[in-house]
Amino acid sequence: MTPTNVKELVNLFIGIINPLLLLIAGASLLIFFKGLAAFIFKSGDEKALEEGKGLMTWGLVGLFVMVSLWGILSFAYTSLALPKSLGIPLLPHSK
């Protein structure tokens, strides 16, 4: 599908980005749990402990970045009064 105007281009871009955002958040969570498992189950091995700590740290960094992006998008949409029909996953908020 070739976009014919800016709105269609933005919708196409958002349609591509949305699944990627969810995929990255899911991958970050899996990386965190893999590090946690390595940290718990291989507690006698110092190298495995350090690897587990590193994986947990990067998993948390990834989750923090994704939640921050969702918060920034939610703030931008509410403060700029943009239409929510663009398909961006927004955090629920109260008015």
Kindly give the interhelix angle for 46-80 and 6-41, rounded to the nearest 10 degrees.
Answer: 150
pLDDT at 93: 52
Which residue is it, tokens 């919708």? Answer: 11
Give the C-alpha separation, 84 to 90, whole Å: 9
Residue 15 has pLDDT above 80, yes or no: no
43-82 pLDDT tens trace = 788 888 899 999 999 999 999 988 887 777 667 666 766 5
Model-wide pTM > 0.75: no
